[in-house]
Chain A
Amino acid sequence: VTSSRPLRPADVTRQVALGTLDLSPDGRLVVYSRRTTTRDADRTALWLVPYAGGRARPLTAGTCTDTAPRFAPDGSRIAFLSDRVGGVPQLHVIAVDGGEATGLTAFGRGVAGFDWHPDGRRLVVVAEDDRSPWLVGERPDGLPTARTIARIDWRLDGAGLVLHPAHLHVVPLGGGAPRRLTAGEWSASRPAVSPDGVTVAFLTDTDPRADLRRGQAIHTVPIAGGDVVEMPGTPRPVDRFAYEPDGGIVALGHDVAVLRDQDPQRLFRIDRDGVRRCLTAATDRSFGVGATYSDLFDWNVGMVDAGRITQLADGGRATPVRVGDDGFEVLVAAERDPVVPAIAAAGGRVVAVASVDRRPPEVVAIEDGDVRPLTREARWLAPFVWPVITTVEVAGPAGPITTFVLSPPGSADVPRATILDLHGGPTDQWNPLPMVDALLLVAAGYRVAMPNIRGSIDRGSAWVGELAGRWGDADAADCHAVCDHLVDAGLADPARLGVLGLSYGGFLVNWLVGTTDRFAAAVSENGVTNQVSDWANSDCGVVYCDAGGLGDPTTPAGVELLWRQSPLRNVAAVRTPILLLQGEADLRCPPADNEQLFVALRALGREVSYVLYPEGTHVFASTGRPDRRIDRHERVLAWFDRLMPA
């Protein structure tokens, strides 16, 4: 046993981050994606590990990004996406028992998703068209003459400009040209082939005003080619779905005309004849969404499930559950604090990428309510101090606020320099598993408090709904309650209280410093300062502001509501030194918003630093170029260290 040392920013190059996984049809072999990091780049490889236990071994070289593995129906091969050639993801297949991967596609703009046909001889892929109906003078080796924008969904954070429709194609396994299944000025996603092999289901919204709502629904097209039709009984909007063996579908989504933040995501069953039933109506929690937050997982992978075996967001946990026709069964007890972003099932077995007992994630088998680790991928953390994580239920103005408090081991219950760390969303939740940020702050000697304040999805729709149209009100009150509690309990030094947050968390940091002087230092990352302009500047502003009840600037009352919830309104009162971190390519909370706060603070002569990360998207802190992540971590630590040393 080597003596442990504090984690430092440069140690992110040691990180192994688990992403997605799949289980062979016979339930004997697990394939999972594994991201590693050098200073220059992240790389993702696919690894295999037997369900029965044994050594994990690499399947793909992982020189670039190999991801989205799916076993063929007969289990002999794995299809996956890799950007190893040409820098855009293409569909590849590799034999499980050895040999090199073969590329199956050469779409100019890459492949975004796929599914196996049950005959195992072809796959259905979704790929962007080569030509855009909205670009003028498109040229392969340079920027076009003009981009004509007629809809508000022309950009998406992480993807950049989305001006090429994405459509379905059938790709033969044995080689040969893909056959196009769909076309038009709309985009398809998440293809799934029916068990009888006749139909391809996918998500889209072909309405000419689809850009103004969140309305993706299940559509179908015959695999032989034909008309696209909306599936009778589909809920709307749908996040993802899966076929069941009888040809029916289970879908995660909503059944509402206008989505609100407080509407929990539910699981629906749609029979072949179009009869729909909500399977989770009795549970006031979200299923299969927003339940995992820690970037100890690979954030490049969204949540992955296996139809009825999915996640339940509750109390900060992402609990694996099996949903039946009448209720659901918890697969890992809540006392174990499961956080499970990816689940796969086959042959009666369930495997997952999971954290339990507030320990770093592994690939696990879920058996009889317990987990059995199949990997030892958390070894990279072994040399470093792991924080003490306690759960505090703080009495808040509207109810208990579950707060995870991270402390350096051996630190007594004495007042320490403490950072209030605020999650994004706001419809999200802290897990009992920390972020890399929090690990670094604890390693530097800080206590870190991660509260699930009103707006978080950890305790049901009413808790979320409390925040609707009340940003800066309910949430700020909860933050003060948490700080008061930590100070009163003798855990936080009131003179060395700092605040940190990303996205909505950045909004709240901006708001707090404009309404209180209790914080000694603040770091706001990709936050929000002017809701009026951000309504249009954010890639999802129009749709999101509807969902969050924030307002709409096309009416005077809407402007007033948006402005009332804008931190910029209080800028003259800001006295707390603030570090503004901003990804230059962030389309969710873009520089155009954050720079308004910088310019105003600088014009007022306040202590402010505005740090731009080129190419940085909304979550560059976790997914950006590693040298930029390291620089960012160093600046966060230095900011707090200078203004409120631990």
Chain B
Amino acid sequence: VRIGPDIVAREALIDEVAISADGSLVAYSRRVVVDGAHVRDLWTVPWSGGRSRRLTAGRSVDHSPAFAPDGATVAFLSDRDGGVDQVWLVAVGGGEPRRLTAFQGGVTGLAWRGDGRAVAVTAHDREVGSGPPLVRVIERLDWRDDDTFGLMDRPTHVHVVSLAGRARRLTAGSWFASAPRFLADGRVAFLADPDGDGGRAPVPAVHAVRSRDDAPVRVVATTGPVTAFAVGVAGAIVTLAPAAPEPPDDDPWQVAIDGTTVPGQEDRFAVVLSADGGAAVVADHGREPVFLVAADGLVPVLPDAAAPPTVDAVAAAGTRVAAVATFGTGYAEVYALEPGRVPRRLTTHGAAWFRRNDQPRVSELEVAGPAGPILTWVLSPPDAGDEPRATVLAIHGGPVWHWGPAPELGIQLLVQAGYRVALPNGRGSYGFGRQWIAALAGAWGDVDAADCHAVCDHLVGAGLVDPARLGVFGRSYGGFLTNWLLATSDRFAAGVAEASVANQVSCFGNSDCGYSYNPAAGLGVATTPSGVDLLWRQSPLRHVADLRTPLLLLQGEADLRCPTGDVEQLFVALRRLGRDVEYVLYPEGGHAYHREGRPDRRADRHRRLVGWFERHMPV
């Protein structure tokens, strides 16, 4: 069976997981489509195996499950009453959920106290208004964030809520707290940069307070922006952060305990840290292996022989780990992991929709590139042999990210439609050492394009690709590179760039993080002539007159990371030049709309992505 874009209506997506303190029970949320909208419900499954049991069943978005210390209750966030997230409690043994909090602005994070008699939350200070405000006065650089649009109007702060529902505020001010966690001494720790922007990007660190009368104090020495933290065994503070306050792209995010980097990470990127601090995922060589976190070093959880893992979430209780993972290609399920044991699949949600289709063939190639081997996954339709086929080169975002063999749904649909898809980890990708990333700094469009050509040359030379039917697709940084490749080469028959980059000079001001990311990635600053030169040199728009390949530009209208104001520059220029270009806007779409957007929009996006290649380079 082959599936198409309409599969979105039957999709079941799992991307978060929790485990009870005794390691006996796993909770996860599952996203499905009901009446054209995404909803999420919570499920539990015994870690030792057994039937999945539905814990909640609303037409709401239930997420972020957290077991109470005694394991009898799960706290979670849900918009089921009033449309904004509140903390709800549900007994694992049965019964209906009850609402614990009533923050008008909504709750953004939660954690249990050790005695199970209270939770700490972060919540927005003000409610979401019914209409826009009279005026927005902007005096900081961090007034917008693609992940949390509107946040600048509404700081988030820490409160403690008793199980009777009594809330006590612990912090206040024009800054943002996240990831609340109780410390052993009863204080509440959280991530924040209370000192404000000072013209730079925020550098969140772990702070703690006991009461509202306290000023937040730093509880662990970190230098780089902390992106996740946990209170681990014996009260250890586990953090995930790069080293530098304004980290360059090659500065690896690493797990530290009480400020000391855990040995065994080398120069690899730790990409996931569990909320309990017990497990982490460290990307390496196109794989996402899971480790137990211990002060004396990381302990591998997966056997070497396992198919290449892609891991979206982990939770740990002692040596028992639950993970949302894909082994090889396909779609994610929940697995039980333990050092030295073969992963056990705990759920079968994917079987109901994704596994019905014919699974693609995966091959792993090491392409000889100008600076070293380029690990490239090649996905082929199950019926494909080693003949020259219509092929799409798909480029990942980031650029500091990587491809495993289980890419997003749209790319899997390209394979279902009969295309071979090549997923290269060219320079800039993590998992291959700092040098592989550092090579791209300030050299966008140079070393990365060279690597792409090397991969294409190799595949054509190996007789796997029909050179007349070679296409390119990428989103975000991958969209940048798509635009760049089309403007500097005529080898491609069609291109699709999604949420991409056209003009780095304007993006310095237009992207929510341009002012900090662009200098960190060596792209330049828009405040000096040499910076502008550097930004412009790395802008696809510079070469627009040479772009003659049919190009589809997909764009979320509410994307703050790679905004419409940038992409439309390429569209307008190509239209002016009379080229074959289409610009498709998805209302309300943020940077990740292809995954988070309204289901009809996701299906339309998949349809257009596949349809563009079918029109210009049929299988």
Contacts and interface: CB of A to CB of B under 8 A. Distances in A.
A212 to B, nearest CB: 6
B542 A143 contact: no
A631 B600 contact: no
A344 to B, nearest CB: 38
A541 B526 CA distance: 22
Given A603-B141, A614-B132, A535 B572 contact: yes
Interface string B412-454: 0000000000000000000000000000000000000000000
Interface in A590-644: 590-593, 595-600, 602-605, 609-615, 627-628, 631
A541 B514 CA distance: 24
A532 interface: yes
A631 B135 contact: yes
Interface in B129-147: 132-141
Interface string B598-613: 1011001100100000
B503 interface: yes
Contacts of A552: 576
Interface in B557-612: 557, 563-566, 568-569, 571-573, 575-578, 582-588, 598, 600-601, 604-605, 608
A572 interface: yes
A151 interface: yes
Interface in B65-84: none
A146 B137 contact: no
A136 B604 contact: yes
Contacts of A603: 141, 199, 515, 525, 527
A627 B134 contact: yes
Contact of A146 (B529, B532, B601): B601
Nearest to A136: B604
Given A533-B503, A533-B506, A568 B526 contact: yes
Contacts of B132: 584, 614-615
A536 B510 CA distance: 14
Interface string A562-599: 01000011011000000000001000001111011111
A385 interface: no
Given A537-B565, A603-B525, A612 B584 contact: no
B576 A559 contact: no
Contacts of A612: 135-138
B561 to A, nearest CB: 14
B148 interface: no
Contacts of B582: 148-150
Given A598-B509, A628-B135, 7 more contacts: A149-B571, A590-B565, A592-B565, A595-B510, A602-B140, A612-B136, A613-B136
B336 interface: no
A482 interface: no
A457 B357 CA distance: 68
Contact of B585 (A146, A533, A614): A146
Interface of B: 132-141, 199, 503, 505-506, 508-510, 514-515, 525-529, 532, 536, 541-542, 544-545, 557, 563-566, 568-569, 571-573, 575-578, 582-588, 598, 600-601, 604-605, 608
A513 to B, nearest CB: 15
A541 B525 CA distance: 25
A542 B576 contact: yes
Given A145-B601, A152-B575, A602 B199 contact: yes
Contacts of A535: 569, 572
Contact of A571 (B526, B545, B601): B526
A148 B584 contact: yes
Nearest to B567: A536
A137 interface: yes
A147 B587 contact: yes
Contacts of B514: 599
B600 A554 contact: no
A152 B576 contact: yes
Contacts of B544: 553-554
B604 A596 contact: no
Name the residue among B134, B509, B536 with the largest chain A CB count within 10 angstroms: B509
B527 A596 contact: no
21 contacts: A143-B587, A146-B584, A146-B604, A147-B586, A147-B587, A148-B585, A209-B578, A530-B506, A530-B509, A533-B569, A536-B568, A537-B568, A541-B572, A592-B510, A596-B526, A599-B508, A599-B526, A602-B140, A612-B136, A613-B134, A631-B135
Contacts of B598: 145
> Which 3 pairs from chain A and chain B are nearest by CB?
A592-B565, A596-B509, A614-B132
B441 to A, nearest CB: 19
A3 interface: no
